Amino acid sequence: MDINTIIQALGGLSMFLLAMRLMTEGLTLFAGNRLKHLLGNWTSTPWRGVGVGILVTGLVQSSSAVTVATIGFVNAGILSLRQAMGVIFGTNVGTTMTAWLVSLVGFGFKIEALALPILVVGVGLRLLASSTRWKGLGDALTGFGLFFLGLDLLKEAFEGIASSFSANLGAGVSTNWAGMILIGFVATLLTQSSSAAIAIILTASAGGIIGFEGAAAAVIGANLGTTSTAALATFKATPAAKRLALSHIGFNLITGIVALCLLPLMLGLVNLLGDALDIESTPTALLALFHTLFNLLGVIIMLPLANRFASLLERLFHSAEEDIERPHYLDATLSGTPVLAVSALKQELLRLSDILVNLLRDALSGPHSIPELKRRAEAIHTLGAAIANFITGIRPDAMEHSTANELASALYAARYYQESAQLAPGLRRLAQDQVLLSGAEKTAVSTLLQQAERCLEPELSGDHLQARELVEALRNAHRDARRQLLEAAVQGNLQVVDLDTLLEGLDFSRRAIELRIKAGLLFHTSQNAEAVAIHPVSEADLTKSLNTDQYPNLP
């Protein structure tokens, strides 16, 4: 083995990796939104997710690309963790398509006869096509041609390497399962591609460097090597991405351990199937069959356990937003007992109130960014929706009239909390935009924000007089700030674009605080069941009490 052989092997591997990237990016571009539609709409069950994972990974030739897209769907709430796990399991089977390409096409005939025409068509499309979609197909075909040319270089290099080893050395290596597993693992770790590692193993097997059993152990190691990529992906990732990466790691670890324990039996089964399929004389095809079979075995083992596995993963890696949106006190089993349901509901509304107050305080001051506040506001909206669903699920035939009134008040309160949270980013924007101001207008805006902060301090106890005083002081500050901003604009001290933004921030601030106060009145009034039974509190009652008709409803 000389330096030229090593350079040829590395060059072939480099061409192979480049080809895989071109194929993945080109096919993804050519398919456009079709693959995303397939992932988002055809994965209603874990089994269908497996099928979609196999199909999409086989098409784009990259389990990593499919995994990234799947994580995006989980983060967007389009896919649940259970659905996404089915897709991830399927990608492990779909990625075996590369092994079949290498074994059946790469070693079956003269590679140049197929690769060069494909390369010509691919480059031609890339240069001449007018649409981005067809340029993507050109990239994919170019990658396909380079795939086989790189494979040809690898094959020639490994044939040269094989000639420098004795048959005894090759046999000795092939029986050392632990060593071969490590080689497969390191190959995937270095190339960051299990497909490339599998291609190296198949090429080495075809060149006679390692025997069939050793190559099978190396294939298991290459499959385990993909866990390193998944583990690296968990750093600085979202909780959903971390859970999905752990499901990938768990699948590969369990599948690898089972395949290793059953290796003699599986090799015997592969030989039987190879004889039936008339591929027993092609070691690379047998290895591709082994690769497919043990990943299918993993799906058969893991998919029935997917729900329990997902439940375990969902208890890990909580974000602040996920903790907010998950009810702490509501339980569907309470729906048949309205008294207990109302008690739990009050606890959850009190928690929602505290979360909202903290959000509004952070919006008024502190280092919190607008995107962070938006995420927390969305989490509050999700919690409010869960509260509303819980209320509508309580059996109406088992409740008294006073209980029904309490639930109506609670439903209004939850809605007000949701609406107030959605306006919190507007508060933060107004607080940040104070730097645009000076003089009287800056003082007026600062006074409004201070009054808003004071409105968050006291705990309302159903005292409508106290609420009116707070709201009136807030509105006075709002009117004064609005007048000062308009005067500044007239005098040329404030640009019209900035004026519009600031006025919108003023309105959002006032509206957010008023909604919080109205929700607090409803919540505390609903806790007095006797008062509610005598005089139910409606939205119209609150509007009249706080005299909110003199201001238009704001978004």
Own/partner pairs for 47-51, CB < 8 Å, 24+ apart? 47/86, 47/303, 48/86, 49/83, 49/84, 49/85, 49/86, 49/87, 49/89, 49/90, 50/86, 50/87, 50/89, 50/90, 50/93, 50/299, 50/303, 51/90
What is the C-alpha to C-alpha distance for residues 248 and 269, in angstroms, rounded to an integer? Answer: 26
SS3 content of the chain, % helix, strand, coil (to 5): 85, 0, 15
Structure tokens at 410: 């609670």
What is the C-alpha to C-alpha distance for residues 518 and 270, in angstroms, rounded to an integer? Answer: 71
What is the C-alpha to C-alpha distance for residues 341 and 333, in angstroms, rounded to an integer? Answer: 9
Residue whose C-alpha is closest to residue 450's, from 368, 364, 516: 364
Identify the burial level of 150 via C-beta atoms within 10 angstroms of its C-beta, where 0-12 means exposed, 13-18 middle and 19 or more buried: buried
Helices (H) and strands (E) in the chain, counts: 26, 0
Identify the burial level of 315 via C-beta atoms within 10 angstroms of its C-beta, where 0-12 means exposed, 13-18 middle and 19 or more buried: exposed
Residue-wise pLDDT tens digits, 179-234 = 889 888 888 877 767 777 888 888 888 777 788 888 899 999 988 888 776 676 66
Own/partner pairs for 489-496, CB < 8 Å, 24+ apart? 493/438, 493/439, 493/441, 494/436, 494/437, 494/441
Residue whose C-alpha is closest to residue 265's, from 285, 282, 290: 290
240 near 246, Cβ under 8 Å?
no
287 near 201, Cβ under 8 Å?
yes
Give start and end residues of each alpha helix (H) in 303-365: 306-314, 320-325, 338-364
The domains found in the chain, sorted by start residue, are 3-314 (no CATH), 321-550 (1.20.58)
pLDDT at 164: 52
Q: What one-character-per-residue DSSP string does 437-459 give?
A: --HHHHHHHHHHHHHHHHHTSS-
pLDDT at 537: 44
pLDDT at 419: 94
Residues in Cβ contact with 38 at an 8 Å cutoff, skipping those fewer than 6 apart: 52, 55, 56
Residue whose C-alpha is closest to residue 406's, from 530, 516, 514, 519: 530
Tell me which H or E stretch contains 60.
helix 46-60
Helix orientation angle between 401-422 and 338-364, rounded to the nearest 10 degrees: 20
What is the C-alpha to C-alpha distance for residues 224 and 229, in angstroms, rounded to an integer? Answer: 10
pLDDT at 113: 67
Helix orientation angle between 177-191 and 194-206, rounded to the nearest 10 degrees: 130
Total-model pTM: 0.60
What is the C-alpha to C-alpha distance for residues 156 and 423, in angstroms, rounded to an integer? Answer: 66
Residue-wise pLDDT tens digits, 431-447 = 888 877 888 888 898 89
What is the C-alpha to C-alpha distance for residues 198 and 175, in angstroms, rounded to an integer? Answer: 18
**For residue 39, how many C-alpha atoms fall within 13 Å in the half-sphere facing its CB?**
33
218-229 burial, b at 16+ Cβ within 10 Å, e below that, comes to bbbbbbbbbbeb
Residue stretches of the chain with pLDDT short of 50? 165-174, 529-539, 541-542, 544-555
Amino acid identity, residue 71?
I
What is the C-alpha to C-alpha distance for residues 145 and 279, in angstroms, rounded to an integer? Answer: 25
482-492 burial, b at 16+ Cβ within 10 Å, e below that, comes to bebbeebbeee
Q: What one-character-per-residue DSSP string does 285-316 give?
A: HHHHHHHHHHHHHHHHHHGGGHHHHHHHHHTS
DSSP-derived secondary structure letter, 101: I
161 near 209, Cβ under 8 Å?
yes
